[in-house]
Structure 1
Amino acid sequence: MGPAELQRATTVARRYFLEGKAKTEIADEFGISRYKVARILDECREQGIVRIEIGVPTAVDSELSERLRRAFGLRHALVVRTTAPDVVTLRRELGTAAAELLTEIVTEDDVLGVSWGRTLDTMAGALTGLAACSIVQMTGVTGAVGANSIDLVRQLAAVSHGPAYPIYAPLVVSDAGTAQALYQQPGIAAATSRFASITKAAVAVGSWDRDGSQFHQALPPATLATLSTGDIAAEVCSVLLTEDGTPTGEDISRQTISIRADQLRRIPDVIAVAGGESKVRAIRSVLRGGLANSVITDVGAARLLLESPTPPQG
């Protein structure tokens, strides 16, 4: 293929395989026939532009999953047998399990809320099908606009073909007045007004340190200095929690564009996706506080969680 032909072919492949567009839609966009689109896709496979891999189904320890579910009174618990100890593999395999669960349980009548996180990014990448539900972003953006939570919402909506409600605002702002003003903006209100309608949610869980929480990274040093970090066990959707799951850091929450702890608790099914020994204290805190009632984790974390389970708060 020449450069122009190659450019068109790769764009057609992206539209079909990544964005989930129908061949007729792609044909209309490029002014060619549906059969020409099919030929281009065939050529992409033949020339190695598109490589298709068949993933091995996620290995779930069903006995450990059931023990964890009963110990914490959960709706869903999936304990994944990871194939390697490194964090990249852990995130990928937990994300794949989360994608499989969402594909199974989400219906067109649901409103799906999502936070942000590297494991949730892998979840979105692993999704190949999702009911045409509404997708609502539950937190503002950390880092550059177009990355993290906004990009995650776009990826999910591209698979589900349902309406998406992103939040084009930073997660952390300078003061409470600025936060309140942003909440009144129509584009942001379109998402935040739907928090009460969310029926299922997928959330990442952060341990309270720079490596374990993107929210920690987003706070300026002066703000971090005001927090009693020894009392903070977890962070979920920018909500800080103590060891027993009690929300803390209320002053900080007034400077964030994010779902609140009480709103998160009212969602019928919140799935926490997190694993690794470094996240055990944080996962336990989130489950104890009732901010999630389903969990996807790995074997090592599950065994540590079962050493000292505590039922969630009423």
Structure 2
Amino acid sequence: MARHLEEARTLGIVHIDVRFPRPASDPEPGRLAELLGIDRVEITPTGPDDRTTRKAMAQKAAEELMNAAQPGATVGISWSRTLDLAAGYVTDLPPCNIVQLAGALPVPGSGNSLELIQSLGRHPGVSTWPLWAPLVVEHADTADSLRRQPEIADTLARADTLDAAVVAVGAWTPGLSTVWDRVDNRLRLQAARAGAVAECSGRLLDAAGRPVDSELEDRVLAVTVAQLQNTPKVVAVAQGAARADAVRAVLAAGFITTLLVDEELAAALLAGGGSP
């Protein structure tokens, strides 16, 4: 029975939603950062609905991006619905380089990573490095061929020398990762059985923060976990208590320096204790 329930959950037939009550007092960002073993935590209000919460997080993410984009710096940015919205709140960028960290993943009702980087490139003096490819392709051979294209190879190589990056964290469950909807049930189940709990820029991680060996890894065109681990400053954005385990997995991978979360997720992380 337990095995069938777990398989149904993995395939999206059953969804278990864990909600943490709002704490009597707001979580203290400095305390949470110390507990998680990272430089800084920023906490935004959890609103009455998803849209309100995402708007507040997008505004804060825009601030983080503007702070990270020092003159002459090379900054990578991934895509999520929150980061897509954040681009509209970026009011000023110095002359710098913006690198697209994940291929395009169109989502109904939202933009995509190409539109995001084009929006940031409208600021005077900003040079952009778009990734002219989908995030997920059907076959590993197709991904290999695309990686050999000069424009794509150049953008992917620039992730080796990032000064900072802004990424989003998803959980490997239905509704909590935009990549989940782009693959079939066979691959979803294969990745889950291999230990996947988190997704970041199309890369899957297990609870210990290790990259998951699955078919998806060979079909994704995006920054690698190793490249993020070599980046001095990485801002990660995540929302909702249901992503707590995913955030802890990405923290275990060791590349997050600043974490941007809403109050509900902050409370869940605080309840979960110290760093993984």
What CA distance in whole angstroms lies between the structure 1 residues aligned with 2:125 and 2:72? 13
What CA distance in whole angstroms lies between the structure 1 residues aligned with 2:117 and 2:168? 14
What CA distance in whole angstroms lies between the structure 2 residues aligned with 1:177 and 1:213? 24
Where in structure 1 do 4 or more consecutive aligned residues deviate above 6 Å?
Answer: none
Which structure 1 segments of 5+ residues have no match? Answer: 1-60
Larger Rg over CA atoms: 1
Paired letter, 2:235: I
**In the alignment, which residue of structure 1 is the partner of 2:19?**
none
**In the alignment, which residue of structure 1 is the partner of 2:126?**
162
Deviations 1:215-243 (A, max 9, x none): 11111334324333583211001111112
Matched, 1:115 2:115: no
Deviation at 1:92, TM superposition (A): 0.8
What CA distance in whole angstroms lies between the structure 1 residues aligned with 2:220 and 2:260? 26
Which structure 2 segments of 5+ residues have no match? Answer: 1-24
**In the alignment, which residue of structure 1 is the partner of 2:103?**
140
Aligned in 2, Cα 1:168/1:114: closer, same or farther, shift over 3 Å? same
Contact in 2 for aligned 1:62/1:79 (Cα 8 Å): no
Aligned with residue 38 of structure 2, among 74, 81, 95: 74
TM-score (norm 2): 0.83
Percent pairwise identity: 31
What CA distance in whole angstroms lies between the structure 1 residues aligned with 2:32 and 2:197? 20
Pairs within 5 Å for 1:223-302: 223-229=187-193, 231-302=195-266
Deviations 1:123-150 (A, max 9, x none): 1111111222111111111138x94111
Deviations 1:30-55 (A, max 9, x none): xxxxxxxxxxxxxxxxxxxxxxxxxx
Aligned with residue 181 of structure 1, among 120, 145, 160: 145
Contact in 1 for aligned 2:73/2:96 (Cα 8 Å): yes
State the secondary structure of the residue aligned to 2:171.
coil
Question: Which structure ranks higher in relative contact order (CA pairs < 8 Å, sequence separation ≥ 6)?
Answer: 2
State the secondary structure of the residue aligned to 2:170.
coil
Aligned in 2, Cα 1:202/1:291: closer, same or farther, shift over 3 Å? same
Deviation at 1:100, TM superposition (A): 1.3
What CA distance in whole angstroms lies between the structure 1 residues aligned with 2:206 and 2:274? 14
Give the aligned length: 250
**In the alignment, which residue of structure 1 is the partner of 2:3?**
none
What RMSD over aligned residues (CA atoms) do the two structures have, in Å?
2.2
Aligned in 2, Cα 1:62/1:158: closer, same or farther, shift over 3 Å? farther
